[in-house]
Every structure is written in structure tokens, then in C-alpha cells.
Amino acid sequence: MDRKEFWIETYGCQMNEAESEALKITLKARGWSEALTPDTADAVILNTCSVRQTAENRLWGRLGFYKHAKEEHRFKLTVMGCMSERLKDAMFSRVPEIDLLTGNFQKNRIADYLEKTFSDDFKIKLTEPGEYEFFTRHSNKDFKAFVPIMHGCNNFCTYCIVPYVRGREISRNFKDIYDEIDRIDSGNVKEITLLGQNVNSYKIQAGGRNMDFPALLESVAKRVTNIEWIRFLTSHPKDLSDRVIRIIRDSPVLCNHIHLPVQHGSNKILKLMERNYTRESYLALAEKIRKNLDNVSLTTDILIGFPEETEEDVKYTMDLIKEAEFEDAFTYYYNPREGTKAYGWGDPVPHDSKIERLNRIIELQRSVTRKKRINKIGRTMKVLAEKRSKKNKLELLGRTEFDDMVVFPGSSDSIGKFINIKIEDISGDTLRGKEE
């Protein structure tokens, strides 16, 4: 095949980011190169997300754009990921300009099939459910890498589409995880993130050994020699064990940052969401984490506007935010997802009320985040320099172990390296400092 250019757009979570990265590397190994703009691409690939209707609406907009772009120049259009897994044929009928439609279970075959669309000039649909195969590759230029350790979810929180589009939970063989981490460790990577929808339920029996998440985390932390930071995403509060907290405490490479989505502060709503914990047990866990891990950063997800939510429930959530003092939070308003249990309960909270409640939550969390970051002024923190600032070309953006964004003067040579930064100021909720 002639040398061709691809353009990938990635929506959704880190799992999608990891799989898009793997596809980029697979295509490059076959002689493709990454286009600088979609206008010159021979193949446009959209890696999609279904978690919220807003994510799907955006994708329909992109499909509309590429449908018209096809009138201007010839390229093959691929749609992959959670939205095509959910909608299957409906996507093809609505956008017949799609050349290759794949869901979540055939990612190792996408590059083959994409090339087939050129040679045979026919449309391909690959959305039959199958066994999930982990699809992961890394470039030796990377300084950060995602390492998927499990796939799918068995929790079926009543609002969530993920178990339907990603399938049942499967844990990856730890030998494959070790091999991948060893390869990454021999390159330039400074930070890895172990990925799964609920990493704490990792469990596998292989080679006569039983491995659970604490055991995996401990052995990975002991194994690495060049990687300096290890993180993991996401933890379900019902499954995060004392062993995991102890292992983080005793390991110099495990970051003192835990993302622990609470979703809501009202026991009534948590029960309707089927999260299997209470506000009290969550707060007790948060306290235990803070007591055991020095300067730990605790971040969360909050989902507001769920059916039956009242003002009192919102107040419980605001009180929980104040009590848990999250370093940061991703906040969303509820979108009903067809096929989930809660879909049958309608969407009784009016849209305007959801937005108004969400804004209150965002404002409160911003003040908590700012207060916690102000306390970091004066400290010297190890920062991994990630990229050039868009606002000021003489400045870099980086992150601390605690996932705080820091802006500081620096040159491109520092990108991908650790630098000690003395924190001097804060603008909005971004820390600013100078190399020490």
C-alpha cells in the first residue's frame, strides 16, 4: 500500500486515549504517518464515547462535518469505540459515508480492515460482540504511558452505559502487564497509569498464581527502575482496601493521589445509583486515606440531577464536598442513557434546575480547590514538565505527583523531565512557580 496519512480524533476516557495511541503506533509501523490537519488525511478515524448524550451529540456534529468534507476530498471515514458499539447499524444508516464501523471488541483488526477499504473499496462493519483483546502499544518517544490492566465493568451503576458498551469485567494476564511495563521501563517513560473502570476488582489466576489488585500494584511498584511515578484509575469506593493504602504509603513510586468518584452525597441517591456505599462509609474511607498518606490528593466525580434528587440531597452533596475537601472534582449533570436501569425512571429534574445545581457544586468545589492549592504556595514541588503553554510560549505546563497543574518559565528541552519548582503564586486555580 502507498504511504498514507491518518487523522485520529479521540473522545471519552483514558481507555479511549490508550487505544487511540495503540492504533497510531500500529498504523505508523505499517508505513502510515500522522496528518497535520484532517484536510490532507487519507483516513479519518473517530474514537467515540457514549457516556453522556452531550458526548454523542458532539460526535454527530463531527460526522456531519466529515460527511461534507468528503465532497471536497477523498478519504476513508472510520468510526470506532463505545458509540459505534452502542448504535451499530443505526450509525451506518444515518451516515452512509462511514467506510469502516467497529465497536469495542475488534481493535487489533482495525488497521487490517482500514487498509482493505482502500484496496477493495467496500464498506466494513465489525460490531459483532467478541472476546475483548487488550490493544496497547507505546512509542519510545513517550514520557507518560497508560497501561490497561482490565476492561469492562460489572458494577452496573443504574445511570451508566459503560458495562453495556465495554462488556463484562476482564482482568489482563499479569505476565502481559509485566512485559509491557518492562518494555516501557527501558525507554523514556517517567510516569505510568494503570487503567481500568474499577481497578480494585482486578483478579486473575494464571500460571498457578492468584493475583489481586494490591498484589499487582505492589509487584509493579517494586519492578520498575526508571519509571518514577505510578498512578491508577479508577477506584470504586466500595473496593479500595486498606492493603492498597498501605502499599501506596510504603512505596516511593506510587503517587499520593487517589481518584475516588463519590458521585453523590445523599444516601438516598447513592442507593438509587446502586453504588453500594454510604456517605458515612465514603467519608470514613477518605479520612483513613488522608491519615495514612502524607499530603495525599483526593479527587472525585460528582453526578448531579439524578431522578428523585431534591434540594436536601444537593445540600448533602455540598456538605460532603466541604467535609471531604477534595483537591479537585469532575462534575456532570445527569443524562439518561437508554438501556440503563435509571432510563426507565425518566428525567424528572428539569434541565434548568440541573444546570443551576451543577453550577453551585462547581463554584463550591472551585473554592475548595483554590484554598487547598493556596496552601501549596511556598513549597518546592517535583513537577513533570508536559507541554508548552498555549498562552505564553516562554512557559511550560507540568503536573505534580498530586495532579496539580503548575505553570513555570522553561524551554522545550525540559519537556518530559522532572524539575523542582518553587511554587510562588496561583492564578485561578493554576499554581505558578520557578525552577529552583
Alpha carbon of residue 389 to chain centroid: 22
**Nearer to ligand SF4 (CB atom), residue 161 or residue 184:** 161
Binding string to ligand SAM for residues 330 to 349, with x set by CB under 6 A, is what? Answer: --x-xx-x------------
**Nearer to ligand F3S (CB atom), residue 49 or residue 248:** 49
Q: Which residues contact 70 (CB under 8 A, 6 or more apart)?
A: 77, 97
Does residue 263 bind ligand SAM (CB under 6 A)?
yes
**Nearer to ligand SAM (CB atom), residue 41 or residue 162:** 162
Residue with the three cell numbers 460482540? 129
The region, left, alpha or beta by phi > 0 then psi within -120 to 50, assigned to residue 200 is: alpha
Strands annotated E in 186-296: 191-195, 203-206, 209-212, 229-233, 257-259
Q: Which residues form the interface with ligand F3S (CB under 6 A)?
A: 12-13, 15-16, 49-51, 81-82, 161-162, 165-166
**Nearer to ligand SAM (CB atom), residue 24 or residue 337:** 337
The region, left, alpha or beta by phi > 0 then psi within -120 to 50, assigned to residue 238 is: alpha
CB of 224 to ligand F3S, least distance (A): 26
Does residue 52 bind ligand SAM (CB under 6 A)?
yes
Does residue 51 bind ligand SAM (CB under 6 A)?
yes
Q: Which three cell numbers stand for residue 217?
A: 500494584
Binding partner selected for residue 337 from ligand F3S, ligand SF4, ligand SAM, none, CB under the kind-specific 5 to 8 Å limit: ligand SAM
Q: Which residues form the interface with ligand SF4 (CB under 6 A)?
A: 153, 155-157, 160, 162-163, 197-198, 236
Binding partner selected for residue 354 from ligand SF4, ligand SAM, ligand F3S, none, CB under the kind-specific 5 to 8 Å limit: none
Binding string to ligand SAM for residues 391 to 430, with x set by CB under 6 A, is what? Answer: ----------------------------------------
CB of 81 to ligand F3S, least distance (A): 6
Q: Which of 168, 167, 161 is nearest to 53 (CA)?
A: 161
CB of 13 to ligand SAM, least distance (A): 5
CB of 331 to ligand SAM, least distance (A): 8
- Judge contact between 11 and 17, C-beta under 8 A: no
Residues 66, 62: Cα–Cα separation, whole Å = 6
CB of 159 to ligand SF4, least distance (A): 7
Residues 411, 420: Cα–Cα separation, whole Å = 14
CB of 341 to ligand F3S, least distance (A): 17
Binding partner selected for residue 156 from ligand SF4, ligand F3S, ligand SAM, none, CB under the kind-specific 5 to 8 Å limit: ligand SF4
**Nearer to ligand SAM (CB atom), residue 127 or residue 331:** 331
- Judge contact between 270 and 277, C-beta under 8 A: yes
Give the Å distances, CA to CA, from 416 to 58, 203, 434: 32, 33, 17
| Candidates 104-112, 159-167, 345-353, 371-379; binding stretch for ligand SAM (CB under 6 A) | 159-167
CB of 202 to ligand SAM, least distance (A): 13
Residues 316, 347: Cα–Cα separation, whole Å = 21
Does residue 274 bind ligand SAM (CB under 6 A)?
no
CB of 13 to ligand SF4, least distance (A): 9
Residues 211, 202: Cα–Cα separation, whole Å = 8
Q: Which of 175, 177, 238 is nearest to 209 (CA)?
A: 175
**Nearer to ligand SF4 (CB atom), residue 187 or residue 336:** 336
With CB under 6 A as the rule, give the number of residues binding ligand SAM: 18
Q: φ, ψ for residue 141 (rounded to 5)?
A: -90, -15
Q: Which three cell numbers stand for residue 416?
A: 518530559
Count of other CB atoms within 10 angstroms of residue 340: 18
Segment (H or E) for 289:
helix 279-292
CB of 236 to ligand SF4, least distance (A): 5
Residues 335, 304: Cα–Cα separation, whole Å = 10
Q: Which of residues 186-205 bind ligand SAM (CB under 6 A)?
A: 197-198
**Nearer to ligand SF4 (CB atom), residue 75 or residue 105:** 105
Residues 180, 177: Cα–Cα separation, whole Å = 5
Among residues 6, 7, 66, 159, which is the contact residue for ligand SAM, using CB under 6 A?
A: 159
Q: Which three cell numbers stand for residue 106?
A: 475488534
Count of other CB atoms within 10 angstroms of residue 119: 8
Residues 35, 43: Cα–Cα separation, whole Å = 9
For ligand SAM, the binding residues (CB under 6 A) are 13, 51-52, 159-160, 162, 197-198, 234, 236, 261, 263, 301, 303, 332, 334-335, 337
